[in-house]
């Protein structure tokens, strides 16, 4: 956005600069230093209504006086009076300026105000003829002059239903993401999504803290990345003259802490995966991981159930989530479905008894792309993703994944081909992933070596050998259950958003120009 020279400014912005100059000529500072409100917009309305209900209004129907600060979001000039709406963090309230109340000079100066300016007003509350609680302004002060108009739509409240009707507005998705400040400023419902996001994170912390977990911080810049199968972002440390990676997961560091005797730890972290963007993928995303000594994945399923219900109770107030226009009830215990069992049922054959060639053929028949080089585990995973996953709307634990897909998970105690692992799907999306953590250092080294073989075969998402992590396991990690959770995806579910970009304040976009 170029901003050099008045010639390039739009007409609208030129007018605002002219008003800015006119304000200064009148000795008014257009960018005030501070302001002390005595109430919020919603608080003033509530206080008036309480006084009204108690029969406590002064003569003329006036309630208590307040000083309010907010942004001008509506303006109706009636000649010798003006009605405006001022919006603060709590909502909007109507304010009423009358020439013979605020005084002639002050009233004339109102002409230099615009939509999106920040002002402070002071005066008693009253109810207008048409019934709206309003601040009868006795004095006002400019807090900040806005030089660029916000893209307000016209907003009408349906008198009967109370529904908010938007007549036109700020709809351009690109502009809304790039200028999230403007998106937030004109869309109260967007502000609400991010308030909910904050409440979700607070609830997650409160739950885990109460369970005796310790919140920790582990490195974002890592010399070896691990804990997940994904391509990393690379960066460079100049003084050490070496490549560093932005973390793709916290897993291996958190389990080192379990070795060290911090027996319940969690971290809420930004992780980075160098992958494509989609409705459910942002390269920079928020993950919650926790690890609990002496527990296995069965224990973790129980903990996850309690956590999900806790967050729903605390944040949403009802045990259901919205996906698109579907309402999905969430009640414990969640369904448990063996990955192999689920797939065998759909295929009408025991998957264990199918050869790799048969699995490959089946996948090909279904038109599943990009199969070349896929091993048995990957084929099973793809088939499951195609045939079973889309139907998992109600909360479902998918259990016991093939060993080669889970290099950090413990072998299943009853079936060596599988691991003790679960993924929790809600609304067709994977939100949790957990295992009984592999703590046999010899097995772990072999699994890493198998990953190295995959890497050499061209799989650039295969995991790296982390010798220091093996060393930690050699000291002894107690039996441990661990869980990873996609915070953004959980927030999507709880706010009914269909794109991850709508729950991330500043999602990744290509750079402008």
Partner RNA sequence: GACCCGGUAGCUCAGCUGGCAGAGCAACUGACUUUUAAUCAGUAGGUCGCGGGUUCGAGCCCCGCCCGGGUCACCA
- Does 364 bind RNA (CB under 7 A)? Our answer is no
- Does 464 bind RNA (CB under 7 A)? Our answer is no
- Does 77 bind RNA (CB under 7 A)? Our answer is yes
Query: Tokens standing for 388?
Result: 């079973």
Q: How far apart are CA 373 and CA 379, in angstroms?
A: 10
Query: Least separation, in Å, of the C-beta of 152 and RNA?
Result: 7
The residue among 352, 499, 338, 324 whose CA lies nearest residue 423 is: 338
Q: How far apart are CA 463 and CA 447, in angstroms?
A: 9
Cβ nearer to RNA, comparing 279 with 361: 279
- Does 501 bind RNA (CB under 7 A)? Our answer is yes
Strands (E), 8-138: 65-77, 81-88, 91-98, 118-127, 133-136
Cβ nearer to RNA, comparing 128 with 235: 128
The only residue of 36, 129, 163, 476 in contact with RNA, by rule CB under 7 A: 129
Q: How far apart are CA 230 and CA 433, in angstroms?
A: 15
Q: What are phi and psi of 170, to 5 degrees?
A: -110, 90
Q: Which of these segments, 146-154, 205-213, 349-357, 467-475, binds RNA (CB under 7 A)?
A: 146-154
- Does 393 bind RNA (CB under 7 A)? Our answer is no
Q: Which of these segments, 79-87, 197-205, 392-400, 473-481, binds RNA (CB under 7 A)?
A: 79-87
**CB atoms < 10 A from the CB of 440, how many?**
13
Site string for RNA, 235-274 (x = CB under 7 A): --------------------------------------x-
- β 164-166/155-157 pair status: antiparallel
Cβ nearer to RNA, comparing 147 with 201: 147
- Does 342 bind RNA (CB under 7 A)? Our answer is no
Q: Which of these segments, 126-134, 305-313, 315-323, 467-475, binds RNA (CB under 7 A)?
A: 126-134
- Within 409-438, the residues that bind RNA by CB under 7 A are 423, 430, 433
The only residue of 23, 47, 49, 75 in contact with RNA, by rule CB under 7 A: 75
End-to-end Cα, the chain, rounded Å: 9
- Does 484 bind RNA (CB under 7 A)? Our answer is yes
The only residue of 46, 81, 144, 218 in contact with RNA, by rule CB under 7 A: 81
- Does 17 bind RNA (CB under 7 A)? Our answer is no
Check the CA dihedral 318-201-498-248 and report its sign: negative
- Does 78 bind RNA (CB under 7 A)? Our answer is yes
Q: How far apart are CA 181 and CA 202, in angstroms?
A: 23
Q: 419 pairs with which residues across the strands? A: 411
Cβ nearer to RNA, comparing 97 with 334: 97
Cβ nearer to RNA, comparing 249 with 316: 249
- Does 355 bind RNA (CB under 7 A)? Our answer is no
Total residues at interface with RNA (CB under 7 A): 76
Q: How far apart are CA 441 and CA 472, in angstroms?
A: 8
Q: 322 pairs with which residues across the strands? A: 327
Cβ nearer to RNA, comparing 99 with 322: 99
Q: Which of these segments, 50-58, 227-235, 257-265, 310-318, binds RNA (CB under 7 A)?
A: 227-235
The residue among 474, 469, 471 whose CA lies nearest residue 252 is: 469
Cβ atoms of 251 and 228 within 8 Å: the answer is yes
The residue among 312, 310, 307 whose CA lies nearest residue 327 is: 312
- Does 389 bind RNA (CB under 7 A)? Our answer is no
The only residue of 132, 284, 302, 443 in contact with RNA, by rule CB under 7 A: 132
The only residue of 392, 408, 454, 492 in contact with RNA, by rule CB under 7 A: 408
- Does 3 bind RNA (CB under 7 A)? Our answer is no
Q: Which of these segments, 36-44, 173-181, 190-198, 328-336, binds RNA (CB under 7 A)?
A: 173-181
Measure the CA dihedral 200/276/392/205, to 10°: -20
Q: What angle do CA 80, 81, 85 make, to 5 degrees?
A: 155
Q: Which of these segments, 44-52, 296-304, 391-399, 403-411, binds RNA (CB under 7 A)?
A: 403-411
Query: Least separation, in Å, of the C-beta of 260 and RNA?
Result: 22
The only residue of 36, 53, 59, 167 in contact with RNA, by rule CB under 7 A: 167
- Within 30-69, the residues that bind RNA by CB under 7 A are none
The DSSP result for 284-331, as a single string, is: EEEEEEEEEET--HHHHHHHHHHHHHHHIIIIISSSEEEETTEEEE--
């Amino acid at each position: 956005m170029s901003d050099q020279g008045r010639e390039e400014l739009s007409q609208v912005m030129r007018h605002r600069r002219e008003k800015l100059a006119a304000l200064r000529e009148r000795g008014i500072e257009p960018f005030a230093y501070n302001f002390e409100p005595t109430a919020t917009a919603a608080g003033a309305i509530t206080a008036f209504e309480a006084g009204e209900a108690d029969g406590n209004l002064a003569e003329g129907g006036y309630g208590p006086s307040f000083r309010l600060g907010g942004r001008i979001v509506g303006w109706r000039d009636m000649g010798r009076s003006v009605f405006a709406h001022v919006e603060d963090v709590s909502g909007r309230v109507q304010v009423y300026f009358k020439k013979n109340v605020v005084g002639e000079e002050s009233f004339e100066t109102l002409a230099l105000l615009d939509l999106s300016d920040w002002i402070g007003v002071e005066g008693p509350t009253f109810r207008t003829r048409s019934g709206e609680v309003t601040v009868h302004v006795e004095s006002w002060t400019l807090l900040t002059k806005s030089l660029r108009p916000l893209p307000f739509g016209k907003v009408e409240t349906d008198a009967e239903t109370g529904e908010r009707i938007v007549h036109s507005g700020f709809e351009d998705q690109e502009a809304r993401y790039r200028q999230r400040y403007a998106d937030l400023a004109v869309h109260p419902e967007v502000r609400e999504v991010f308030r909910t996001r904050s409440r979700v994170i607070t609830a997650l912390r409160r739950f885990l803290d109460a369970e005796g977990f310790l919140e920790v911080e582990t490195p974002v810049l890592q010399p070896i990345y691990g804990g997940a199968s994904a391509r990393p972002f690379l960066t460079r440390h100049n003084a050490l003259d070496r490549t560093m990676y932005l973390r793709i997961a916290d897993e291996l560091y958190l389990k080192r802490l379990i070795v060290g005797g911090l027996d319940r730890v969690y971290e809420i972290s930004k992780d980075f995966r160098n992958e494509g963007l989609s409705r459910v993928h942002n390269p920079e995303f928020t993950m919650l991981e926790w690890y609990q000594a002496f527990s296995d994945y069965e224990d973790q399923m129980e903990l996850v159930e309690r956590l999900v219900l806790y967050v729903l109770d605390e944040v949403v107030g009802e045990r259901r989530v919205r996906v698109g226009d579907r309402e999905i009830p969430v009640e414990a215990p969640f369904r448990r479905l063996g990955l192999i069992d689920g797939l065998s049922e759909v295929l009408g054959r025991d998957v264990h008894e199918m050869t790799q060639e048969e699995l490959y053929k089946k996948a090909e028949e279904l038109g599943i792309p990009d199969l070349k080089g896929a091993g048995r585990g990957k084929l099973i995973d793809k088939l499951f993703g195609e045939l079973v996953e889309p139907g998992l709307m109600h909360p479902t634990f998918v259990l016991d994944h093939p060993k080669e897909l889970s290099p950090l998970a413990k072998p299943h105690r009853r079936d060596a081909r599988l691991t003790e692992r679960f993924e929790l799907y809600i609304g067709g999306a994977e939100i949790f992933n957990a295992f009984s953590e592999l703590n046999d250092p010899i097995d772990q080294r072999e699994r890493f070596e198998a990953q190295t073989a995959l890497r050499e075969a061209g799989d650039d998402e295969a995991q790296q050998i982390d010798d220091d992590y093996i060393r930690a396991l050699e000291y002894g990690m107690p039996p441990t259950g661990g869980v990873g959770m996609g915070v953004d995806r959980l927030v999507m579910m709880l706010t009914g958003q269909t794109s991850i970009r709508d729950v991330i304040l500043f999602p990744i976009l290509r750079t402008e120009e």
